[in-house]
Structure 1
Amino acid sequence: MAKCGVCYRQCEIPEDGRGFCGVRGCINGTIRPLNYGKITSIALDPIEKKPLSMYMPGSLILSVGSYGCNLRCPFCQNYDISWSDYAYKLEDDARFMSPEELAGMARMYKNQGNIGVAFTYNEPLIGYEYVRDTARLVHDRSMKNVLVTNGMASLDVLKELIPHIDAMNIDLKSFTDYFYDELILGNRKMVMNFIKEAVKHCHVELTTLIIPRENDTVREMELLSSWIASLEDVYGGKSGKDIPLHISRFFPRFNMTDREPTSVDLVYKLADVARKELTNVFTGNC
């Protein structure tokens, strides 16, 4: 048995077992990412889809995903590769790509406008070793690395990755412990600590999906945006007020089909609330 230190769960994993995320396993008493190099999704995407609106806009980026996640969002749009019960079915069919192969593919697409690699689709931090190893090689080829993450990982994981990451989009899914603890089985404090440190080291944009009757009040947006604005030592000599926030519209999906899509008017209203604290607020799915 060995303990995994990636997120707050600190899973005690028995020999040949797996942690909550479904991909970190114990082999010969050592924790290893069982999804290392196993790719389920790959596409050349506009960088705005990550979403990143203020980092190299107009660029394309080779976006890759594996499987597994350390959250259980009932509204997940990629549940088939993120929720362990579904992701296991893809394990044997996933395509193995070594870090060298993926970095080489990124370089091959450079003449089509590709700027590098985005680690996205599922949660990349549960397989951070592959991100680290690949991102080093992408940098060696003078290209960029982007991380799209839920931010629920330890600062030790961030410390290993940050020298190799140029930009991140991090979900700040809510500003209540209930939302994290009960709805998505996460830990808000860990995510906030991750964001607080990440903004010091690279370009960071944040995303909040507005879900009716869950995180859609003016008061919560006031608290969330005020906290972002209070962040210090932001990369590039900026302030917390300059950190971009994407406020996105929810649509019923997966295990959350018991409510209507978020009102467009409400998304715009909450964006105006956030703009009282933040300079760069964007709306999505509207």
Structure 2
Amino acid sequence: MRTEVHRLFDPPGPRAIRRNRVITVAVAVALPALALLVISRFAAAGQLEPGKWSIFGQWPVVRYLLDGIGKTLLATAAATALTVPTGLLIALARLARNPITRLLAAAYVELFRAVPVLLLLFACMIVLPRFGMRMPIFWQLVVPITLSHVAVIAEIFRAGITALPRGQAEASYAIGMTYWQSMRLVLIPQAVRRLRPALVTQLVRLLKESTLGFVVSYMELLYAGKVLGEYTHALIQTYLVIAAIYIAINSLLSWLAGTLERRSV
């Protein structure tokens, strides 16, 4: 018996598949060529000499970068722990039967999707202290990121719940469940299982937003790299190492999202 699979988005058609293949081939050819050009320019400028890279084999430097990675992951984990449940609550508020609740939730989503995270950072760092509300540096970074991404997560949850077949809710009502019982026991568990890849992908954005820690002097990985590069006079090498670390972490998260997506189909 064939099992019907419900998707949030339609699969690409023949033209889109051909276009994606052409773009993939073009990028696969252009990226190595660009990489070879950059490496040759670096070599000509003497930036690939072993002496300029030897500092990254020293334990104090490695420990310093590991500390930056740890603080980056800590900020990302804290923002995720606050964002996901709050985003689910806002999504449920947008789907509530009370029009005032829906209006307030929609206003929150539209407002914080429009306001840049950097502006929220400045508000937490400059505006709130004038009203006697001072937060530690860690929360000056985490709270603005959370406020912004809650709106995005809420829309992801709302899309996932509304994409479920209407028969799921109707069947739960038929056996005597209330609206919120249906949401809690039937719809939300199914939506969460299907949205796991999108939620993991959102972690990549949260991780990249943590680079705004330099604004509040939070010693996350990028800011730690800036300090290290200025101290060792190896700014280019340090930023390349930092970029490689970010690529490795984001690639791991992307692989996890792809794995979850294959398992959810």
Report the TM-score when normalising by structure 2. Answer: 0.23
Give the number of the structure with larger relative contact order, counting CA–CA contacts within 8 Å between residues 6 or more apart: 2
Q: Which structure would you say has the larger Rg?
A: 2
Which one has a larger percent helix, Structure 1 or Structure 2? 2
Which one has a larger percent strand, Structure 1 or Structure 2? 1
